Amino acid sequence: MSPGMRKGLAAAALAWLAISTGCNVGQKYQAPAAPAPPAFTEPPPQSFTESKDWKAAAPGDAWTKGRWWEVFHDPELKALEEQVDGANQTLKSAEARFRQARALVRERRSQRLPTVTGGPSIADQRLSSNAPVPAPRSETVSGNFNLGFEASWEPDLWGRIRNLVSSAVESAQATAADLENARLSLHAELALDYFDLRSLDEEQRILEDAVAAYRKALELTENRYRGGAANRAEVAEARTQLEATGAQAVDVTDMRAEYQHAIAVVTGHPPEGFAIAAKTGPSVLPAVPTGVPSALLERRPDIAAAERRVAAANSEVGLARAAFYPQVLLAAAVGLEGSSITNWLNWPSRLWAVGPSAAQTLFDAGRRRAALEESTANYDALVADFREAVLTGFQQVEDNLASLRILEVEAGRQRQAVASARESEALSFNRYKGGLVTYLEVVTAQSVRLQNERVAVDIERRRLEASVMLIRALGGGWNSSSLPQPEVLTSKVP
């Protein structure tokens, strides 16, 4: 072995020793502390008992897949929800962004290994006879046959590449959590639209029943008018009541169409030709155990995404600090070079070169210092965003627990109000038929009964919506252990 080759190999060995013992100038990451009270302030509604159909983000059970809508035991809702993942365009966009982030991880991991390039070339050249130092006439025309390979590698002395890879991995995990948060939000949006639509179906039924009853009342009033037992004003009042209620029924139909169109878009269908058959009847209000507040940090994908972005920002700080240290590069070249095809591939045509190089910025007018301050400020901002996301999560759980508890009491009282309104209407109508009161009393009683029945339907809708929002606030059964781990980021899509 020649002395030059021994020196080159010695330089390569020193570079390898440096990378194996290199330091990471970035700060060690620790997840930011977040406020987590020992228990939620709002007590659950009295109707909340332990449910066999819901498990709060227990790893390994079926609910970690997020099929939380099944607790409502509505086959049509289930069928619609199952169409979202494969057809919704927002989810497809989020999934594409995750694939983009995953590809960036592979790109940055490639910097750990040497880059090898090959450049074979064949050229004939003629040197100028009029050059300041002209070549001999016999050497004016010559050939150049080259077959060379070059390799370069940057030893990661200061953790620059490690921080690049860490930042990409953590950003990809955040993007995966964004995908799950989009999935949770879209499924919740579909459930809310569906329950709004079913609430309108119930209102439509109430209004159609009222129209049928008011039509009979109008006929009775007209008969009494022809018999001289009622006046013209009473007929007008009965007809006004009938037409106004019919107009309300038409308005409900318009609102129902809007929710139906919204459901079509969420499930990836064009609104034209998409229809959901009307259905009435009570819905199942599930019991949703909330667990302890600290579990919320594991069960909400938006909180997980915020925390992963903090980790990525921490790696960016380390990357900015590494810029203050020299950048070392180990390069090598090997190949064959000849003047003709006959001597191109001969052993004497061999060539090689190997050796390290280093570059250090001596003056940049404060650019690196400003970059470090920028990355540090970004880290601080993301820590604040993470803590804000945690506080918002607690607020949303408390808000929906309070709504469910209060609406449960309100629903009970409203049912009593509906029963009283129906009794009052029946008594007023009997008094009118007996000639004891005018039709104005009947109209008033009918209006009160219809209003209370619609309020009762609206309260039940709000209870269902609060249940959906509570499930969403709790993470929908998702768990941060579902995030792709660094070693599988290159092959797994959540």
Q: What is the pLDDT of residues 400-429, one digit of tens each?
A: 999 999 999 999 999 999 999 999 999 998
The amino acid occupying position 45 is: P
Could you give the dihedral angle defined by the CA atoms of residues 334, 338, 341 and 346, in that order, rounded to the nearest 10 degrees? -60
Q: Do the domain assignments include residue 493?
A: no
What's the chain's length in residues? 494
Q: What is the model's pLDDT at position 134?
A: 65
pLDDT digits (tens, 9 = 90+) for 300-356: 999 999 999 999 999 999 999 999 999 899 999 999 888 888 888 888 888 999 989
DSSP state string for 394-423: HHHHHHHHHHHHHHHHHHHHHHHHHHHHHH
The confidence score (pLDDT) of residue 46 equals: 67
Q: Are 393 and 473 in contact (CB under 8 A)?
A: yes
Judge if 5 and 61 occupy the same domain. no
Whether the pLDDT of residue 468 is over 90: the answer is yes
Locate all alpha helices (DSSP H) within 149-274, ordered by sequence.
160-226, 232-266
Q: Are residues 47 and 108 in the same domain?
A: yes
pLDDT at 197 over 90: yes
Tell me the torsion sign for CA atoms 437, 442, 445, 448: negative
Q: Which residues are bridge partners to 333 per DSSP?
A: 150, 353
Per mean pLDDT, which range of 20-24, 145-149, 370-374, 444-448 is the poorest? 20-24
Look at residue 494 and tell me if it is in a domain.
no
Whether the Cβ atoms of residue 322 and residue 160 lie closer than 8 Å to each other: yes
The span from the CA of 404 to the CA of 424, in Å, is: 30
pLDDT at 21 exceeding the cut of 50: no
Q: For 145-149, what is the mean pLDDT?
A: 89
Residue 243 in any domain: the answer is: yes
CATH number at residue 426: 1.20.1600.10
What pTM, to 2 d.p., does this model score? 0.83
Q: Find the mean pLDDT for residues 471-486.
A: 86
Q: Which residue has the tokens 């996301």?
A: 389
Interatomic CA distance for residues 317 and 26, integer angstroms: 6
For residues 98 and 199, membership in a common domain is answered with yes
Average pLDDT of span 79-86 = 94
Same domain (yes/no): 197, 292 = yes
Q: 89 is written with which tokens?
A: 């365009």
Mean local confidence (pLDDT), 161-181: 93
For the cut 70, the answer to whether the pLDDT of residue 15 exceeds it is: no
pLDDT band at 159 (very low <50, low <70, confident <90, very high): confident
Last residue of a domain, one of 308, 341, 359: 359
Average pLDDT over the chain, rounded to whole? 86
In this model, does residue 53 exceed pLDDT 70? no
Min mean pLDDT across 56-65, 220-229, 259-268 is at: 56-65
Which residues lie across from 359 on neighbouring strands? Answer: 327
Q: Are 101 and 217 part of one and the same domain?
A: yes
| pLDDT for residue 51 | 44
Query: 307 with 164, same domain?
Result: yes
Q: What is the CATH number of the domain that holds 10?
A: 2.20.200.10
pLDDT higher at 129 or 7: 129
Tell me the three state secondary structure of residue 129: coil
Q: Which residues contact 125 (CB under 8 A, 6 or more apart)?
A: 141, 142, 143, 144
For the cut 70, the answer to whether the pLDDT of residue 16 exceeds it is: no
Q: Which residue has the higher pLDDT, 258 or 436?
A: 258
Q: What confidence tens digit (pLDDT) does each residue in 276-316 have?
A: 999 998 888 888 777 778 788 888 999 999 999 999 999 99
Q: Give the span between the Cα atoms of 448 and 168, in whole angstroms.
A: 62
Q: Is residue 66 predicted with pLDDT exceeding 90?
A: no
- Higher per-residue pLDDT: 137 or 364: 364
Nearest to 82 by CA among 275, 268, 319: 268
Residue that wins the pLDDT comparison between 131 and 433: 433
* Whole-number Å distance between alpha carbons of 227 and 271: 53
- Residue 276 lies inside a defined structural domain of this protein: yes
Question: Is pLDDT larger for residue 287 or for residue 12?
Answer: 287
Q: What is the mean pLDDT of residues 127-146?
A: 70
Please report whether residue 474 resides in a domain.
yes
Radius of gyration of the CA atoms of the chain, in A:
38
Work out the average pLDDT over 219-226.
90
Report the candidate in 185, 31, 171, 11 with the shortest Cα–Cα distance to residue 98: 171
Backbone angles phi, psi at 50, to 5 degrees: -60, 125
| CA 72 – CA 57 distance, rounded (Å) | 18
The CA dihedral of 395, 396, 402, 408, to the nearest 10 degrees, is 180
Q: Cα dist. 227→218, 231, 232, 283, 438 in Å?
A: 14, 10, 12, 47, 15
Predicted confidence band at 22 (pLDDT cuts at 50, 70, 90)?
low
Answer with the residue of higher pLDDT: 128 or 7: 128
Predicted confidence (pLDDT) at residue 9 exceeds the cutoff of 60: no
Give dist(CA 241, CA 210) in Å, integer: 10
The pLDDT, as a whole number, for residue 17 is 47
Same-domain check for residues 344 and 473: no
Residue 62, domain member (yes or no): yes
468 within some domain: yes
Mutual angle of helices 439-473 and 367-433, in 10-degree steps: 150
- As a whole-number percent, the residues of the chain with pLDDT over 70 amount to 87
- Shared domain for 355 and 225, answered yes or no, is no
Query: In terms of Cα–Cα distance, which of 60, 14, 33, 77 is closest to 387?
Result: 33
| 355 and 462 co-located in one domain | no
Tell me which of 74 and 2 has the higher pLDDT: 74
Among the listed residues 396, 281, 284, 399, the one whose alpha carbon sits nearest the alpha carbon of residue 52: 284
Tally the domains of the chain.
2
Would residue 57 be called left, alpha or beta, if left means φ above 0 and alpha means ψ between -120 and 50 degrees? left
Is pLDDT of 50 > 50? no
CB-CB contact of 242 with 211 (8 Å): yes
Is residue 135 assigned to a domain? Answer: no
Q: CA-CA distance, 336 to 318, in Å (whole number)?
A: 42
Instruction: Write out the two tokens for 489.
Output: 């980021």
Q: List the alpha helices (DSSP H) in 56-159.
A: 75-81, 84-87, 89-109
> Are residues 397 and 347 both part of a single domain?
no
- Assess whether pLDDT exceeds 80 at residue 487: no
Residue 491: pLDDT band with limits 50, 70, 90: low
Cα separation, 368 vs 323, whole angstroms: 7
Residue ranges making up the domain that contains 351:
1-22+114-127+140-155+327-359
Q: Is the domain of 268 the same as that of 375?
A: yes
CA 470/CA 475 separation, integer angstroms = 9
Per-residue pLDDT at 11 exceeds 70: no
* Kind plus residue range of the DSSP H or E element containing 377: helix 367-433
Q: Residue 24: pLDDT band by 50, 70, 90 thresholds? A: confident
Checking if the pLDDT of 52 tops 50, the result is: no
Asked if residue 45 and residue 122 are part of one domain, the reply reads: no
pLDDT at 140: 61
